[in-house]
Amino acid sequence: MSARRMLVVGAHSADFVWRAAGAIAKHTAAGGEAVVLALSYGERGESGELWKDPNQTVENVKRLRHAEAERAAAAVGARLETFDRGDYPLRIRDEDIDRLAALMREYAPHVVLTHPDRDPFNPDHPVAHSAVATARQLTAGAGVSSGFRTAPPSEFLVFEPHQPELCGFVPTVFVDITDVMPAKQEAMASMGAQGYLREYYTQRADQRGNHARRVTGDATIRQAEAFQRLIPTVVGAL
Amino acid sequence: MSARRMLVVGAHSADFVWRAAGAIAKHTAAGGEAVVLALSYGERGESGELWKDPNQTVENVKRLRHAEAERAAAAVGARLETFDRGDYPLRIRDEDIDRLAALMREYAPHVVLTHPDRDPFNPDHPVAHSAVATARQLTAGAGVSSGFRTAPPSEFLVFEPHQPELCGFVPTVFVDITDVMPAKQEAMASMGAQGYLREYYTQRADQRGNHARRVTGDATIRQAEAFQRLIPTVVGAL
Amino acid sequence: MSARRMLVVGAHSADFVWRAAGAIAKHTAAGGEAVVLALSYGERGESGELWKDPNQTVENVKRLRHAEAERAAAAVGARLETFDRGDYPLRIRDEDIDRLAALMREYAPHVVLTHPDRDPFNPDHPVAHSAVATARQLTAGAGVSSGFRTAPPSEFLVFEPHQPELCGFVPTVFVDITDVMPAKQEAMASMGAQGYLREYYTQRADQRGNHARRVTGDATIRQAEAFQRLIPTVVGAL
Amino acid sequence: MSARRMLVVGAHSADFVWRAAGAIAKHTAAGGEAVVLALSYGERGESGELWKDPNQTVENVKRLRHAEAERAAAAVGARLETFDRGDYPLRIRDEDIDRLAALMREYAPHVVLTHPDRDPFNPDHPVAHSAVATARQLTAGAGVSSGFRTAPPSEFLVFEPHQPELCGFVPTVFVDITDVMPAKQEAMASMGAQGYLREYYTQRADQRGNHARRVTGDATIRQAEAFQRLIPTVVGAL
Amino acid sequence: MSARRMLVVGAHSADFVWRAAGAIAKHTAAGGEAVVLALSYGERGESGELWKDPNQTVENVKRLRHAEAERAAAAVGARLETFDRGDYPLRIRDEDIDRLAALMREYAPHVVLTHPDRDPFNPDHPVAHSAVATARQLTAGAGVSSGFRTAPPSEFLVFEPHQPELCGFVPTVFVDITDVMPAKQEAMASMGAQGYLREYYTQRADQRGNHARRVTGDATIRQAEAFQRLIPTVVGAL
Amino acid sequence: MSARRMLVVGAHSADFVWRAAGAIAKHTAAGGEAVVLALSYGERGESGELWKDPNQTVENVKRLRHAEAERAAAAVGARLETFDRGDYPLRIRDEDIDRLAALMREYAPHVVLTHPDRDPFNPDHPVAHSAVATARQLTAGAGVSSGFRTAPPSEFLVFEPHQPELCGFVPTVFVDITDVMPAKQEAMASMGAQGYLREYYTQRADQRGNHARRVTGDATIRQAEAFQRLIPTVVGAL
């Protein structure tokens, strides 16, 4: 049987680390494959530390961000892909949608993760969401036989944004990441350019762990990540 | 290991049949236990056929409805409990909440199903929802150690109402009931007083089956039932 | 053919005047019947002018408010009924629900109007809404033959509250009241105790008239009242 | 007096058949005119059966789909217009909006029907909605005299999507299509490429008929179609 | 000029500490008065640690909880009031509403804080909300002169619940509590029975501080508390 | 200390007058600076009166509209900027976003006002909203140090649309404009092309004044304007 495939799409190369590194690590630890796609390197909006070097160049920032993201992806068992479409603003053209749909047809992910469709604090996250949602629909077809190659419909979830309530984010599933928290810590440690976010998301994992304990009564859960499913699941029993 | 326990609470004795008989049958077929609790017999609002007998009495209607519900519960492997609180209107007193909470503490269900909290077409369904939601919270405690007996937090879902969009119902999980559809048919056939609903809910199962196929691409699904989770789930991996 | 019957239920005896007098007048002018039911006289919360008389008594306030409401109802061709259940707070007991349901079974209205279910500025309006919604459901039965007397399902709308956006009110239908505006003015003039609201609701009728013109392009509309339907309508053609 | 004009806009040439053929037939049976506009032929996403012929060409698929849609339109008394903008993805340019607005100015519809603005299962439906909503606004002007040709504001409704709750669809009006159900059946039968949907939408018409009976108590209604109004209506009386 | 008065109402005696102690401390530090009202002691649902003593009595638990709450209130400059209405479940009778309204008329608060109206994890919080909302409306009157004593309308906000997204909580105002964090820490330290929550809410204050910095760009903010206004404010300029 | 800077962006040159002239006047009266940016002149959609002159030209309409808007801006102490991007439809290109973001970086407003994101009656208002929201995000950066010039995050509010409930507008702040109502009247009087709206918005100011009195109990408020904040505020105390 082939491995279960996960695709995680971020507007910037560091997005997957803070919001989904734990879920990726759980997925790959369970024998799954994971691809992380970064639509941009966040080279303008999220790399200010690097730009403090007066001799810095955009190509060098991208190179450093690529290396960081590769280390982080490796820490959770994922492979990195990049589109290098630029940030602040990330602008997605029709051909970028087509390229993303082609990737989805080829990779045929079972589950797709990306940003929510609304974020008053970031211009690029909703753009990434829209691209992923459209490409995913183009890939799956209309539920009837199509005149083009399709991939089976994937599960579709969004990961937690920085200010969840203001993005309309409501968690519907917590992933217990207790036993992969070291891998998430390692992935976060790889992101030199945004190191100060590490404490923030460590605390967040603790809090979501508290929520997951509250929901289940399971005291062994220490850390969790929160996700919102956009499409119903189908199960054999409740 | 003890069996997984499901509790299904309906305002009237027939409610569980139309909306959840398939999910109950799947649950018990998988080795789970199920208790169906009817807060009333629907003896006034949903038993008009029986009242066409000019010698009919309320006690006899309740007796007939009890027998029907027992047969339907048996068809899907569940045990029937009744509170006989009256219908049209169903009025829930503090002691009914306490009795329901006591039942939940004793039975300690892993999953609880009931009506949505809104229904412009039925005065009793939201009353049942409110009773179940409150009793469930009283049972689970505050997520900290309590000064009274508690049961672990249960999963909490609502089943599909008759006009879903007007009740604010949005499905989040489909249960594939293809292989237990005969048991659901048998349960529906047990409800002599509301026989005309049988075709309606058979069609509904087909349509939800279509939706579940669309979501998964799995062509083997023929019938399904729709549910909405009110509380996040916790999983080990996506 | 019998006349079309409208039932308008207000928490206080003046509520129907400001929010629905025009729609009532249009209804009766078209040959319909209308009953206005006041659950209380608003004798405490909305009769402050009367209480400036140091010799005032609650019975006298009610008597004056009754007479005003009768004059206003007469001005738009409606008949007044009162329950005298008290205001600030209006508290509805089970027997009040039953009494209201009995009135609805007897009168069998084709259309029912009342307050929205939310109002951060008035404790009594949502109580009235809830009573009307429940009694209406008890009257109509479950859409199947019942073991008690029913009336056909009525259309169900809420009228405009004082601060619509904060009550979740979204208009779905405007009634063109241009040709009955004098009757609405007369009804408003009858309400001595709250005379200062007359200008407010005259302006409001002008504004809703502007909105109704905008929606239709019909320049003959000068005044309108706004309502929100809670239940779909059924039509023979769009 | 001129006939009442209806405009139905679908992303693909078959969309109007499943969701609105009954309402169109009722409209034309009552003496109204109807134009069905197909923005694309659904030649890629919804014509998989045709593509099973190894010698199939896109031009031939479009030709066949055009003929089918013409037969279906004729069955309900409507005239077909096509924009042939391609599907999966349907991409709308500024000049397409302008062309649609020009059509609306010319035809001056009294009522416009199209897809809802959200559909997680179809990339083209929201694109069609957005084009129609924008063109309609451009046609109507700002409610003040304009420096360009306008048409009076039209009623604006969306028809039922395949999975209504997941598209945010809430019915506000049911059209009783009982007496034109044969015409809708004929229109559905014309759509050879998607014949398997015929049973699905026949059942759906039965269910919406059940809902419409429940809302009115009118037992003569057998089939109905559901719509959601996006703009208030203006009436002379409730 | 008299001091600005704040009223904070919690279902249980510890609620104000975790969610609003900082805002209370800021208020009193600025010369305001604050009253904390505990509707119950949380003696059953939130005092499990105390009940581990086999000789424990409910009266002793209440006594200990009262003392803790008084110390916590003192730490932030507030005065404690208690209604001792019981918890799990907290059940509010008409006379409790009247008592709360009388307190509000007497104290005439400028700002009122309480729980949100929804909480799937706690049966008592929404009960407290409803009591406060109703009593506040009864106190303020209908915006016209009343036949009873009133107090001016107060500002009305809800504090942050434990799982904000699942309670429909959306922050609209952050209070910068950086300089009173020691007082909040002292208040939290007073609550022996729930000491383990201290770390949770310390982290939460850090995170809300992060959000408040993000909103303003003001790097001096370290900790904040989040609130949601339910009623618009009126200002002299933006 | 430098003055507080306000930026008001309208799709058309008259938008700021009806919806925000009072708030601008209050702002400048308090010593603040204000810039009004008109993305278009509304030369096609809102200048019909001018087009009744058979010799009218688009350049002349723009010239007249510019002069009117300058007089109105002067009446409330603001400076006018224009982008002249055309109306009905207003179409915003990437370079327009960049130009707007550059203006925001340069001007560094403390508070930004524009249209809501939804308006079923106007195609240009949501386009303006989207442009402003995106440009504002690009200006503020990601809350971390950026590789480009930023301005501090501004407060972000939308002003009241013509039919508020149908645009999803819910007021969260009223500005008391009583003492600058003459300036707003003067600004409105400057807009010759849309003079008939003057009475409408004068009444609206009265009604919002009524609402603001109701919220505060402050009888000195006569007129107000309503706004909705999209981003939380941060305060030192409630």
Among the residues of B76-180, which ranges form H helices? 94-107, 125-140
CA–CA separation, F30 vs A101, rounded Å? 54
Residue A13, both tokens: 């190369």
Contact call for F230 and A88, based on CB within 8 A: no
CA–CA separation, F167 vs F115, rounded Å? 10
Backbone torsions φ then ψ of D83, nearest 5 degrees: -105, -20
CA–CA separation, C185 vs C199, rounded Å? 10
Contact call for A120 and F143, based on CB within 8 A: no
Chain B residue with Cα closest to A33: B238
User: What is chain F's mean pLDDT, rounded?
Assistant: 95
Cα atoms in the 13 Å half-sphere on the side-chain side of C140: 28
pLDDT of residue D145 exceeding 80, the answer is no
Residue D195 has what pLDDT?
Answer: 67
Backbone torsions φ then ψ of B4, nearest 5 degrees: -75, 135
Write the CB contacts of D78 (distance below 8 Å, at least 6 apart in sequence). Answer: D6, D8, D16, D24, D28, D34, D35, D36
CA–CA separation, C82 vs C90, rounded Å? 13
The answer to whether A75 and A183 have CB atoms below 8 angstroms apart is yes
pLDDT of residue D169 exceeding 70, the answer is yes
Contact call for D138 and F46, based on CB within 8 A: no
Spell out where chain F has E strands.
5-10, 33-38, 79-82, 111-114, 155-159, 173-176, 224-229, 233-235
Residue C85 has what pLDDT?
Answer: 98
Contact call for D166 and A231, based on CB within 8 A: yes
The tens digit of pLDDT for each residue in C4-31 reads 999 999 999 999 999 999 999 999 999 9
pLDDT, mean of residues E195-200: 84
pLDDT, mean of residues A31-51: 94
Which candidate, F172, F163, F147, F164, places its Cα nearest to that of F230? F172
Give the distance from residue C7's alpha carbon to the nearest chain B alpha carbon, in angstroms. Answer: 18
pLDDT of residue E1 exceeding 60, the answer is no
Helix axes E94-107, E124-140, angle to 10 degrees: 50
Radius of gyration for chain E, computed over Cα atoms and rounded to the nearest angstrom: 17
Residue E119, both tokens: 């909480």
Residue C104 has what pLDDT?
Answer: 97
pLDDT band at F193 (very low <50, low <70, confident <90, very high): low
CA–CA separation, B174 vs A231, rounded Å? 11
List chain A residues with CB under 8 Å of F134.
89, 123
pLDDT, mean of residues F147-153: 89
Give the distance from residue E190's alpha carbon to the nearest chain A alpha carbon, in angstroms. Answer: 22
The answer to whether B57 and B28 have CB atoms below 8 angstroms apart is no
Partners of chain C (3+ Cβ pairs below 8 A): B, D, E, F
* Helix, strand, or coil (residue D197): helix
Residue B129, both tokens: 């929802």
Residue B1 has what pLDDT?
Answer: 55
CA–CA separation, F21 vs C12, rounded Å? 38
Residue C145 has what pLDDT?
Answer: 75
* Helix, strand, or coil (residue A37): strand
Residue type, F197: L
Between C122 and D195, whose confidence is greater? C122
Which candidate, F158, F209, F161, places its Cα nearest to that of F181? F209
% pLDDT > 70, chain D: 98
DSSP string, chain C: -PPPEEEEEESSTTHHHHHHHHHHHHHHHTT-EEEEEES---TTTS-HHHHTSTT--HHHHHHHHHHHHHHHHHHTT-EEEE----SSS----HHHHHHHHHHHHHH--SEEEE--S--TT-SSHHHHHHHHHHHHHHHHTTSS--SS---PPPEEEEE--SSGGGGT----EEEE-GGGHHHHHHHHHH-GGGTTHHHHHHHHHHHHHHHHHHHH--TT---EEEEEESS-EEES--
Partners of chain F (3+ Cβ pairs below 8 A): A, C, D, E
Contact call for E194 and B94, based on CB within 8 A: no
Write the CB contacts of F2 (distance below 8 Å, at least 6 apart in sequence). Answer: none
Give the distance from residue A136's alpha carbon to the nearest chain F alpha carbon, in angstroms. Answer: 24
What is the sign, positive or negative, of the torsion defined by CA atoms of A16, A18, A19, A22?
positive
CA–CA separation, D115 vs C230, rounded Å? 22
Residue D48 has what pLDDT?
Answer: 85
What is the sign, positive or negative, of the torsion defined by CA atoms of D173, D178, D181, D183?
negative
The tens digit of pLDDT for each residue in D92-140 reads 999 999 999 999 999 999 999 999 999 999 999 999 999 999 999 999 8
The answer to whether A188 and A141 have CB atoms below 8 angstroms apart is no
pLDDT of residue F1 exceeding 60, the answer is no
pLDDT, mean of residues A114-125: 97
Contact call for D138 and F123, based on CB within 8 A: yes
List chain A residues with CB under 8 Å of D43.
147
pLDDT, mean of residues A205-234: 97
Cα atoms in the 13 Å half-sphere on the side-chain side of F129: 19
Q: Parallel, antiparallel, or unpaired: how do β-strands A155-159 and A111-114 relate?
A: parallel
The secondary element (H helix, E strand) that includes residue B159 is strand B155-159
CA–CA separation, D117 vs A113, rounded Å? 23
Backbone torsions φ then ψ of F172, nearest 5 degrees: -120, -15
CA–CA separation, D21 vs D223, rounded Å? 12
Residue C237, both tokens: 């053609």
Backbone torsions φ then ψ of F177, nearest 5 degrees: -110, 20
pLDDT, mean of residues D148-152: 89
The answer to whether A156 and A136 have CB atoms below 8 angstroms apart is yes
Q: Look at the block and give the residue holding tokens 């509209």.
A: F65
The answer to whether F93 and A91 have CB atoms below 8 angstroms apart is no
List chain B residues with CB under 8 Å of D207.
200, 203-204, 207
Residue B196 has what pLDDT?
Answer: 74
pLDDT, mean of residues B133-158: 89
When CB atoms are compared, the residue of B216, B226, B238 closest to A175 is B238
The secondary element (H helix, E strand) that includes residue D132 is helix D124-140
List chain A residues with CB under 8 Å of E163.
211, 214
Contact call for B121 and C144, based on CB within 8 A: no
Residue D69, both tokens: 């849609």
The answer to whether C110 and C6 have CB atoms below 8 angstroms apart is yes
CA–CA separation, E137 vs E150, rounded Å? 10
The answer to whether D145 and F49 have CB atoms below 8 angstroms apart is yes
The A-side interface with E (CB below 8 A) comprises 121, 162-166, 169-171, 200, 203-204, 206-207, 210-211, 214
CA D201 to chain centre: 14
The answer to whether F41 and F62 have CB atoms below 8 angstroms apart is yes
Residue E196 has what pLDDT?
Answer: 74
Residue A1 has what pLDDT?
Answer: 56
User: Which of A5, A227, A238 to mutate to probe the B interface, most B CBs <10 Å?
Assistant: A238
% pLDDT > 70, chain E: 98
The tens digit of pLDDT for each residue in E7-17 reads 999 999 999 99
| A210 CB burial (10 A radius; 0-12, 13-18, 19+) | buried
Contact call for D174 and C214, based on CB within 8 A: no
Q: Do chains B and D touch (3 or more CB pairs under 8 A)?
A: yes
Which candidate, C95, C87, C163, places its Cα nearest to that of C123? C87
Write the CB contacts of A152 (distance below 8 Å, at least 6 apart in sequence). Answer: A108, A110, A140, B216, B217
The answer to whether A189 and A71 have CB atoms below 8 angstroms apart is no
Separation in Å, CA E72 to CA A23, B229, C54, E60: 40, 38, 47, 18
The secondary element (H helix, E strand) that includes residue E111 is strand E111-114
List chain D residues with CB under 8 Å of B162.
211, 214
When CB atoms are compared, the residue of A49, A58, A123 closest to F145 is A49
Write the CB contacts of E89 (distance below 8 Å, at least 6 apart in sequence). Answer: B94, B97, B134, B138, E123, E124, E127
Residue type, F237: A
pLDDT of residue E195 exceeding 80, the answer is no
Residue C165 backbone zone (phi > 0: left; psi -120 to 50: alpha; other: beta): alpha
pLDDT of residue A144 exceeding 80, the answer is no
Give the distance from residue F194's alpha carbon to the nearest chain D alpha carbon, in angstroms. Answer: 8
The answer to whether D25 and D180 have CB atoms below 8 angstroms apart is yes
Give the distance from residue E44's alpha carbon to the nearest chain B alpha carbon, in angstroms. Answer: 5
The tens digit of pLDDT for each residue in B30-80 reads 999 999 999 999 999 988 889 989 999 999 999 999 999 999 999 999 999
Residue E194 has what pLDDT?
Answer: 65
The tens digit of pLDDT for each residue in E98-138 reads 999 999 999 999 999 999 999 999 999 999 999 999 999 99
Partners of chain E (3+ Cβ pairs below 8 A): A, B, C, F
pLDDT band at C224 (very low <50, low <70, confident <90, very high): very high
pLDDT band at D143 (very low <50, low <70, confident <90, very high): confident
pLDDT band at C2 (very low <50, low <70, confident <90, very high): confident
pLDDT, mean of residues F111-119: 98
Global pTM reads 0.97
Give the distance from residue D42's alpha carbon to the nearest chain A alpha carbon, in angstroms. Answer: 10
Q: Which residues make beta-bridge pairs with E35?
A: E7, E79
Among the residues of chain B, which ranges form H helices? 15-29, 48-51, 58-75, 94-107, 125-140, 181-189, 197-216
